[in-house]
Structure 1
Amino acid sequence: MTKPSEEVETMDDATPEGSKPKGIQRAKLTAVIVAAVVVALAGIGGGYAYWTHHETNAYHEAVAQAENADKALMKAIEQATATEYKADQLKEPKLLDKLDAAISKAKALKGVPNDAPSEWLAWQLASARKANATDADEANAQAKALDAALKAVKGSKLAKELDGAKDQLKRGIDSAGKTLKDTDGKVADNATRDSLKKAIAEANSALSKKGVTDPKTYTGQKAKLDAAVKRVTDSKAAKEKADAEAAAQAQAQAVQAQAAQAAAQPQSSYTQSYNRYGGSGSGYSSNRGYSAPQQSYTAPQQSYTPSNNGGSSAPASDPHYGALGGFGGDGLDCSQAACSILGN
């Protein structure tokens, strides 16, 4: 015998699909559709989530790049404006106008507003990412242009400094050569001239170098050359001073020698005397001064002796007696008259 359960099971399996009730078929179809919708929605949601996540990361990366670019640009502006340049300092003055224009354009960049988009809105994240990337590119470009303009100005300034330093060294060499020539045999220490020759040779060597980028290459040699020239001129001045002192000393010694010679000679004087009756005489005395001739007058000596007879007698040696003829009739004493005449 067949069991009841076996009979039921056999009947269900043997029933064709078409003979099953329709309600059962629709339920299965609905379940399949729901499952498909759920799967579709899950796929869409997952894709959007991935998109927003990707845009979020890209946005933050772009913001960091823009911030770094803006900082670099600000630093470039500070460096470009830290030093004031003038047109007369440059070999090419027009480069200063390009630098000023680059500074103005760099300062005009304002960056990106700090408005963070919603992290659930992928399109806002994408737009903000693009804006920051553009800002970074512009800032980098302006910083690069500013650096190039500043470098050109510095290079032009350096070129003019090099030209000036080189020209000064050339003139220094010419002047030093003239000093060397003019001081031959005129210095106290000839070693100073040897030192100047060496400095001139070194300066010419520096002048002939190629690819010089530092003005100190020329200015350093110019300083050494000037110092060597000064030593020579100082030595020349020392010799001139010593020669002048020696000449003055020699002159002083000559004067002293003459004075000593004059003091050693004997002192003498000329004296002349005149005697009216005794003539004149001259001779040297111990005094060199001149004495005027001395004159002397001696009156004739007379004598009178009266006689007892009232007559007169005169010495035969009296020259006036004969001239007067003795006493006159007026009773005058002839000797007295003679004295009167002689007095006249």
Structure 2
Amino acid sequence: MTKPSEEVETMDDATPEENKPKGIKPAKLTAIIIAVIIVALAGIGGGYAYWTHHEGNAYHEAVAQAENADKALMKAIEQATATTYKADQLEEPKLLDKLNEQVKKAESLKGIPDDNPSEWLAWQLVSAKQANAMDADEANAQAKALNAALKAVRDSRLAKELDTAKSQLKQGIDSASQTLRDTDGKVADNATRDSLTKAIDEANNTLSKKGVTDPKTYTDAKAKLDAAVRQVTDSKAAKEQADAEAAAQAQAQAAQAQAAAAAAQSQRSYSQSYNRYGGSGSGYSSNRGYSAPRQSYTGGSSAPAPAPIQRPNNGVLGGGAGDFHDCSKVACSILGN
């Protein structure tokens, strides 16, 4: 009888080789493990490369955005500081303090970070991207705040200019209306007053307009009104000058007439005096003297004839001054001498 152990051994030995179970040989298993590791490493490497590429693109995009934001902020600073504003130019002077505060904040920003991350170190790219994105956000926010503060100051200045121009136009209308009243009948050309009336009406229409946003609307109307006022005042001055010249001419003519009348009166008085005392009119001419008749005595008396009376010649009876004229008592009595 065969022993069990012997039977088993005999059956194992008798089993064909191809019917025995197959296993993985050690060499093949090692190759498989190596291949799996290689594939895994390849996948990890490819994923990292993709990661670094993606973060690199994001970093450069963030840098460009930060640069644009910083340029916009610098432009806002330049605009805010290009014009010098004064508190008395603004309707709300406190807005100027807010603008100056925003300018200081904008100038204090550092700008784009100065970093040079490696293109193969993804964590550096991520950090640099975040820094540039933060700079862009800060610059954009500050530029927005600065522009808002600048706009508030400009709007306040514009409102003050509008109020001032409107007030000046109203004062100009009042003054022009007074000029129109004061010059009635006192201008050389009344058409100037008609032009002033039209300019006043146009100025009132401008003053009543709603929604005026440009002070030039009021200043142009004021300039036109002032020009019309000057025409009226010039015309008034021309009339005053013409009136003064006419009065002076009339006064001169009256003085000339008075002088001529005085001269004529003086001439008449002189002619009358001349005719009375020696002219060719009435009176005694030097050629019309009287000679006393000689008296002859006949008779017995031998007394001599009386001597003729000698009178000084006063120029009436002829002869020169100091000459004497002989006359008889009768002739002299006739002459009243």
Q: What's the CA shift for 1:74? A: 0.9
The 5-angstrom pairing of residues 137-286 of structure 1 reads 137-265=137-265, 266-268=268-270, 284-285=276-277
Q: Is the 8 A contact 2:113 2:131 kept in 1?
A: no
- The alignment partner of 2:213 has SS state of coil
Partner residue of 2:19?
16
Amino acid at match of 1:267: S
Q: TM-score, normalised by structure 2?
A: 0.74
Q: Is the 8 A contact 1:269 1:286 kept in 2?
A: no
- The alignment partner of 1:35 has SS state of helix
The 5-angstrom pairing of residues 31-42 of structure 1 reads 31-42=31-42
Confirm whether residue 69 of structure 1 aligns to residue 69 of structure 2: yes
- Cα distance in 1 for partners of 2:70, 2:94 equals 28
Amino acid at match of 1:76: A
Q: Is the 8 A contact 2:67 2:112 kept in 1?
A: no
Q: Deviations over 1:41-74 (max 9, x none)?
A: 1111110000000000000000011011111111
Q: What's the CA shift for 1:194? A: 0.7
Q: Deviations over 1:146-170 (max 9, x none)?
A: 0000000011011001100000000
Amino acid at match of 2:88: D
Q: Is the 8 A contact 2:73 2:143 kept in 1?
A: yes
Amino acid at match of 1:181: R
Amino acid at match of 2:66: A
Partner residue of 1:56?
56
Q: What's the CA shift for 1:286? A: 7.2
- The alignment partner of 1:203 has SS state of helix
- The alignment partner of 2:262 has SS state of helix
- Cα distance in 1 for partners of 2:71, 2:60 equals 17
Instruction: Indicate how the Cα distance of structure 1 residues 17 and 35 shifts in structure 2: closer, same or farther if over 3 A, else same.
Output: farther
Q: Is the 8 A contact 2:113 2:132 kept in 1?
A: no
Mark the runs of 5 or more structure 1 residues left unpaired by the alignment. 1-12, 272-282, 288-313, 316-344
Instruction: Indicate how the Cα distance of structure 1 residues 17 and 247 shifts in structure 2: closer, same or farther if over 3 A, else same.
Output: farther
Instruction: Indicate how the Cα distance of structure 1 residues 184 and 285 shifts in structure 2: closer, same or farther if over 3 A, else same.
Output: farther
Amino acid at match of 1:243: D
The 5-angstrom pairing of residues 102-113 of structure 1 reads 102-113=102-113
- The alignment partner of 1:15 has SS state of helix
Q: What's the CA shift for 1:141? A: 0.3
Partner residue of 2:10?
none
Q: What's the CA shift for 1:260? A: 2.5
- Cα distance in 1 for partners of 2:20, 2:190 equals 135
- Cα distance in 2 for partners of 1:286, 1:225 equals 79
- The alignment partner of 1:267 has SS state of helix
Q: Supply the RMSD in Å over aligned alpha carbons.
A: 2.3
Q: What's the CA shift for 1:267? A: 2.0
- Cα distance in 2 for partners of 1:200, 1:233 equals 15
- Cα distance in 1 for partners of 2:134, 2:101 equals 22
Amino acid at match of 1:169: L
Q: Is the 8 A contact 1:90 1:157 kept in 2?
A: yes
Q: What's the CA shift for 1:200? A: 0.6
- Cα distance in 2 for partners of 1:285, 1:141 equals 122
Partner residue of 1:7?
none
Equivalences, count? 265
Q: Is the 8 A contact 2:73 2:140 kept in 1?
A: yes
Q: TM-score, normalised by structure 1?
A: 0.73
- Cα distance in 1 for partners of 2:269, 2:132 equals 121
Q: Is the 8 A contact 2:99 2:150 kept in 1?
A: yes
Q: Is the 8 A contact 1:268 1:286 kept in 2?
A: no
Instruction: Indicate how the Cα distance of structure 1 residues 199 and 17 shifts in structure 2: closer, same or farther if over 3 A, else same.
Output: farther
Partner residue of 1:296?
none
Mark the runs of 5 or more structure 2 residues left unpaired by the alignment. 1-15, 280-302, 305-337
Q: What's the CA shift for 1:284? A: 4.7
Q: What's the CA shift for 1:270? A: 8.6
Q: Deviations over 1:69-121 (max 9, x none)?
A: 11111111111111111111100001011101100111110023322101110
- Cα distance in 1 for partners of 2:272, 2:252 equals 33
Partner residue of 2:293?
none
- Cα distance in 2 for partners of 1:284, 1:164 equals 88
- Cα distance in 2 for partners of 1:112, 1:192 equals 68
- Cα distance in 2 for partners of 1:85, 1:206 equals 29
Instruction: Indicate how the Cα distance of structure 1 residues 285 and 71 shifts in structure 2: closer, same or farther if over 3 A, else same.
Output: same
- Cα distance in 2 for partners of 1:143, 1:107 equals 11
Q: What's the CA shift for 1:269? A: 8.1
